[in-house]
Every structure is written in C-alpha cells, then in structure tokens.
Structure 1
Amino acid sequence: MEIEKKYLVNELPENLEKFEKREIVQGYISIDPTIRLRKSNDEYFLTVKSKGHLKREELEFPLTREQFENLWTKVDSATIYKTRYNIPLEDRLIAELDIYHGDLEGLFTVEVEFKSEKDSEKFVPPHWFGKDVTHDSRYKNSNIAVYGVPKE
C-alpha cells in the first residue's frame, strides 16, 4: 500500500546537484486501471496502481530491457520525461522532486511517501513546497501523460 502526498513546487531547492537523481522515461499502457512502464536510469519496471489519491495499492515488477522495449509498443499515452531528485527531509522522509522535460517543461511536482495516513496528516511541508494536489486527479502522471499540464 502506497501512502503519498503530492505538491506543486513554489521554488526549486538550492544545490540540487548534491542530491541523488534519476532520469525517468515513462508511459502508460492503460489509465484505468493504471498500468505504467518506467525506465529509471538503467532499471526497468512495470507498475500497476489501484484507484485512489492519498492511499492506493501499488504493485511493481522489475523488467529486463528487452521486456521493457517489447511492452513499450503497447504504450497508449504521451511519453513523460523527467528528472527525479531524492531530497532528505526531517523524520527520515524523502521528497521526490520531479522536474519535467519536453512538452511538460516548466512543471515541477514533489511527492512524499509515508508509513501511515496518520503520519501524512502530521506532515508540515517545507517552505519550497507549493499547493497540495494530492486529491487533484489532473496532477496524476497518468492524466498528465494523456492531457498535458493542468490549467489552473
């Protein structure tokens, strides 16, 4: 079970180069149910997600490069290109900052995963976090892949 909050970004943190980063390419075989293919640096995954916002089931399966490339022909959405930075926060939490590229240039989101819903409710976001969009379906990556950057 994944318990995660998603935010827009008010300002990018300084010294991003000092944090771990991954170059991500992802596309969707299906939006309902959510079936995602992702290449993260040199790792490949197929992910299935249940419906929901804050809390939802997520099953992730590692793939070989060949499996990924064969399944990629089934992708039925625009491709998302993004750089993800893992930024440590208080209480051993990690902010996953996504900087989008290509057609999504200018979009920045940040997600934080929690051990429990109670922990998510107690979370006080850092100053650089923006609006909480956890419950706004337009900001799910699957919808961004289909509809593009949401218009505020």
Structure 2
Amino acid sequence: MSLEIERKFLLSEFPSALVEEAKLKVLSEQRIEQTYLAIDENQELRVRRIVDLASGEVTYTHTFKLGNGLLREEIEYSISESIYGQVIKAFGFVPLTKNRITAEWNGRVIEIDTYDQIELSVLEVEFDSEEAANTFQAPDWFGKDISSERQYSNKKVWRELQENRVL
C-alpha cells in the first residue's frame, strides 16, 4: 500500500491570470466519473472512469483508501471497461462527476477539481513527506486549507448525491 500525502484547498476561482502569465502551466485535463462501492468513516472503495480530454483516451481504476486528512494509505490499479460497467450497473449509483486540470506551478504539480453537481473547486497538492506537507506555505490564491475538513471530501459529496437521487 502506498502512502498518499496531500493538502487540499478551497479554490475560489480558476487562476486564469496565472495561466496567461505562464506562471501556471496546464499539463492535462480529464473528465472523471467516480462511484463509491463501500464507505465508512475510515475507509473507501471506489471505481473511476477517466477520459483524457486532449486524446480521448479512456481508463478505468479501482481504488482503496484508508484514513482521513493529510495522510492516507492508498491502493489503486487499472480495471477493464467491462468490469467497470458491471460494477456500475450492479449498484445503480449516481456517479460524482468533475473535471480535473493537472498543472505545474512553481515547480510543483497541482490538481484542480471542478465539480458538476455542486458549486465547488478544490486544489490538491501531493507531497513526498508529512514534514514537506506541514511546512508548505500556500499562496493566497490557493484559498482556505480544507485538508482536514470532511465536508469537502469526495465521499461526503457523493453520499449526498445518492440521498438526493430520484428512485
């Protein structure tokens, strides 16, 4: 199991000016649909359909995460379209959908997720160590640090989608 160390920020608006000034370089953009198969307070099991918007390439993943906040254990691997389709059909859940922009800023890779079903944009930064994460000084444009605020977690938003769906 690998360790995921990341901080999340509540992005108030996309930093278009930084892109124009070449201070933020967009590397890729993906369309992501994700569905949770099992969730509890400390664990999650999900599947994703990921479309690269430049190439049209579609990939599918299965992920297990353990923990909350800054440090989490993670196992992720590819699955086939067929397995993904069977799982989605069997459960009948509404997927959480978002666009993800992966960019380079100040020598660091960042990810910006903009959600469809709710008005929310989140910026994520991954780190090699807990110390690096804790000492990182985010610029003001990143927004509020929400790394330990569960109301912004994907699984909480996804749960709300399932509660609000029409049966």
The TM-score range, normalised by the shorter chain, is 0.7 to 0.9
Deviation per CA, 1:102-140, whole angstroms, max 9, x where unpaired? x22x21111111000111112122332111111111111
Deviation per CA, 1:60-111, whole angstroms, max 9, x where unpaired? 0101110111111344754111100012122x4211100111x22x211111
Unaligned runs of 5+ residues in structure 1 are none
- How many equivalent pairs are there? 144
Q: Which residue of 2 aligns with 1:136?
A: 149
Scaled by the length of structure 1, the TM-score of the pair is 0.87
Aligned partners of 2:72 and 2:140: how far apart in 1? 27
1:59 paired to 2:67: no
Unaligned runs of 5+ residues in structure 2 are 52-57, 162-167
Which of 43, 46, 53 is the equivalent residue of 2:59?
43
1:99 paired to 2:107: no
Deviation per CA, 1:20-54, whole angstroms, max 9, x where unpaired? 10110111001123001111110100000002210
C-alpha contact (below 8 Å) 2:13/2:121 kept by paired residues: no
Where does structure 1 differ by over 4 angstroms across 4 or more consecutive aligned residues?
74-77
Scaled by the length of structure 2, the TM-score of the pair is 0.79
Aligned partners of 1:77 and 1:68: how far apart in 2? 13
Are the structure 2 counterparts of residues 77 and 51 from structure 1 closer, same or farther at C-alpha, using a change threshold of 3 Å? Answer: farther
Aligned partners of 2:5 and 2:95: how far apart in 1? 25
Identity rate of aligned residues, in percent?
31
1:81 paired to 2:91: no
Which of 125, 146, 149 is the equivalent residue of 2:159?
146
Alpha-carbon RMSD: 1.8
Aligned partners of 1:69 and 1:51: how far apart in 2? 27
Aligned partners of 2:97 and 2:66: how far apart in 1? 23
